Amino acid sequence: MNAKKTVERQTGVALWRQIADLIRLSISNGDHDQTGMVPPETVLAAQFGVNRHTVRSALAALADEGLVQAIQGRGTMIQRQERLSFPISRRTRFSQGLGDQARDIEAKLLAHETLPAVGEIATGLQIAPGTACVQLDLVSSADGRPLSCSTSYFPMERFGQMAEQFERLGSITKAFAAQGLADYVRVSTELVARHADADELALLRLSPGAIVIAATAINADPDGVPVQFSRTRFAADRVKLKLET
Amino acid sequence: MNAKKTVERQTGVALWRQIADLIRLSISNGDHDQTGMVPPETVLAAQFGVNRHTVRSALAALADEGLVQAIQGRGTMIQRQERLSFPISRRTRFSQGLGDQARDIEAKLLAHETLPAVGEIATGLQIAPGTACVQLDLVSSADGRPLSCSTSYFPMERFGQMAEQFERLGSITKAFAAQGLADYVRVSTELVARHADADELALLRLSPGAIVIAATAINADPDGVPVQFSRTRFAADRVKLKLET
DNA sequence: CCGAAATGTCTATTACGCTAGACAACTATA
DNA sequence: TATAGTTGTCTAGCGTAATAGACATTTCGG
């Protein structure tokens, strides 16, 4: 928890953005929970060794995100502080895991399509390249804030109604059940962290330069036959992944 | 694999850095494996919708990292492409998991200290706050490239010789064994992705703006008694975490 | 009610990021 | 050997980031 507060110049990342990222981090670390306020601009400027105007740019960006609110004469108050804990285990299910951490959790279907499986997707689903599969693009939100976006592939033959059932039931688990699959397990998950691309910035409503955790996962039925290949991108500053063993 | 190649302006992140990040990503995705070369500067400039000079800045940064090398008249060659797969499971061990992915894997002891456990550390190790514990700071490298840095805490009473044994044996697992603990398991892991701080930039030899995956983990003996609380920060562009269930 | 402390706003200056265009130097191929 | 394709280098100009300083405005405590 002793993240050193230093910024570096001439790195292609503007000082105000580095500072905004550090302040966002310290807020989510709970460093200012006692006061509920960010330190004064002059103090921050001294801490980071920059001009007060530069700190103001950083705070303006955070205010733009709705994370803080400045009040003249008083200071800069913290508006919101959250990082949902998202469990990943052999029995990972999206909505269930988040449980009571948020009041309103929803998954929205953005698009769906039928297409031939190629490359990694065919390999992951253990089907011949060219076999038809259904692609679903989803965005998941908690209390109105986007948490993750995902692209999933299902074998067409078994789960041709995936899009329709999801639209009707609002959950992958339920859509599987409606098509005769009562249970499934996570067999593989790979995680990579990187900067969000333009698509993800828009879908997850992130500020540019933000980080996503990309999870490539395979789910299989109880017999071990793959039923779903998915790539999920989490907004890194909104989630904490909890691995269960 | 269809990461859209678009960059955004006025975000506090210079275009050349955004482009460098995207090119680094496409290299690690294996997009240029056929040719072993990055597309020509003029092509990249057109793709990203920027001036050729801006692309040159991005390539210069990647050349600085040793990732690519430009040769006048020929093009820009890819020098190195790696993202080690690091398995995380109930039986996670550092050196073992990486196996034959790299020739030379080493963990170096930076510092050690005895101090009273507080807060999260005491909770994680299930010991009374104030109880003495040993802190070890390590950096792990594969083939000379830093992969991760970590800070671990061990209960002083059982593992007072941790630093000495690690120094002698070069491995946590062996140091445990030397102190009478033949086996241990991972009981909890939490992952968070964020920008690297100044310390991490230096230790992992990252370029500013780089991403780290921070893993907070607890290992326990076969009876379930916690033996190690650790925070490991991985250089995000050098590893892929593979969760085993 | 005054003054300290905090944010808000303005001007001016310097450094860097980005664009634009032109041409040199080098490599590979026909 | 000529030529197309690629990287290397230079100049010029413009907009933004960052610095510096001054002062206005608001809040809160003594």
Q: Which residue of A has its CA nearest to B121?
A: A1
Report, in ranges, which bases of strand D sit under 7 Å from a protein C-beta.
Answer: 5-11, 16-21, 25-28
Yes or no, beta carbons of B13 and A243 under 8 Å apart: no
State pLDDT tens for residues A74-114. Answer: 889 888 666 677 778 777 666 554 544 554 568 889 999 99
Local structure of B25: helix, strand or coil: helix
Yes or no, beta carbons of A245 and B1 under 8 Å apart: no
The pLDDT, as a whole number, for residue B100 is 47
The pLDDT, as a whole number, for residue A123 is 87
The pLDDT, as a whole number, for residue B95 is 57
B84-243 CATH pick, 3.30.450.40, 3.40.640.10, 3.90.1150.10, 3.40.1410.10 = 3.40.1410.10
At A208, the pLDDT band (50, 70, 90 cuts) reads low
Contacts of B153 in chain A (CB under 8 A): none
Query: What are A17's two structure tokens?
Result: 């953005």
A154 phi-psi bin (left φ>0, alpha ψ -120 to 50, beta other): beta
Query: What are B211's two structure tokens?
Result: 């991403």
Q: Element (H or E) spanning A215, and its range?
A: strand A211-220
The pLDDT, as a whole number, for residue B245 is 62
Yes or no, beta carbons of A188 and B22 under 8 Å apart: no
B2 touches chain A (CB under 8 A): no
Long-range contacts of B23-30 (CB under 8 A, 24+ apart): B23/B58, B23/B59, B23/B62, B24/B62, B24/B65, B24/B67, B24/B237, B25/A194, B27/B67, B27/B68, B27/B78, B27/B81, B28/B81, B28/B82, B28/B83, B28/B237, B29/B1, B29/B3, B30/B81
Strands A132-142 and A105-116 turn out to be: antiparallel
Q: Which residue of B has its CA nearest to A118?
A: B1
| Structural contact between residues B155 and B127, judged by C-beta atoms closer than 8 angstroms | yes
Rounded CA separation A145/A203 (Å): 10
At A21, the pLDDT band (50, 70, 90 cuts) reads confident
Amino acid at A3: A
Q: How far is the CA of A197 from the C1' of C13 (A)?
A: 36
B9 touches chain A (CB under 8 A): no
Nearest-neighbour CA in chain A from B175: distance (Å)? 24
Amino acid at B136: L
A152 phi-psi bin (left φ>0, alpha ψ -120 to 50, beta other): beta
Q: How far is the CA of B61 from the C1' of D4 (A)?
A: 28
Amino acid at B18: Q
The pLDDT, as a whole number, for residue B3 is 38
Rounded CA separation B128/A54 (Å): 44
The pLDDT, as a whole number, for residue A195 is 77
Sequence-ordered alpha helix ranges (H) in chain B:
15-28, 41-48, 52-65, 94-98, 119-125, 156-159, 162-169, 172-178, 198-203
The pLDDT, as a whole number, for residue B167 is 92
Interface of A with B in 144-183 (CB under 8 A): none
CATH class of domain segment(s) B15-78: mainly alpha
Rounded CA separation A197/A213 (Å): 12
Query: What are A185's two structure tokens?
Result: 């397990």
The pLDDT, as a whole number, for residue A113 is 94
The sheet with strand B75-78 has its strands ordered as: B37-38, B75-78, B68-71
Rounded CA separation B226/B113 (Å): 19
Count of C-beta atoms within a 10 Å radius of residue B45 = 18
The pLDDT, as a whole number, for residue A99 is 47
**Burial degree of A216 (CB within 10 A; 0-12, 13-18, 19+):** middle
Average pLDDT estimate for A200-221: 84
Q: How far is the CA of A43 from the C1' of C5 (A)?
A: 12
Looking at chain A, the domain(s) classified CATH 1.10.10.10 span: 15-78
Looking at chain A, the domain(s) classified CATH 3.40.1410.10 span: 84-243
Q: What is the pLDDT along chain B (245 residues), one digit of tens a residue?
A: 333 456 776 677 788 888 887 888 788 767 887 888 889 999 999 888 899 999 998 888 888 877 888 898 888 998 876 667 777 877 766 655 554 455 456 888 999 999 999 878 998 999 998 999 999 999 988 767 788 999 999 999 999 999 999 999 888 888 999 999 998 888 888 888 887 877 888 898 887 667 888 888 899 999 999 999 999 999 987 888 877 66
More confident residue, A217 or B80: A217
Q: How far is the CA of B63 from the C1' of C10 (A)?
A: 43
Rounded CA separation A122/B193 (Å): 29
Q: Which of A135, A194, A242 to mutate to test the interface with B (most CBs of B within 10 A)?
A: A194
State pLDDT tens for residues A151-175. Answer: 999 999 999 999 999 999 888 888 9
**Alpha carbon of residue A237 to chain centroid:** 8
Average pLDDT estimate for A37-59: 89
Rounded CA separation A173/A170 (Å): 9
Contacts of A243 in chain B (CB under 8 A): 88, 188-191, 243
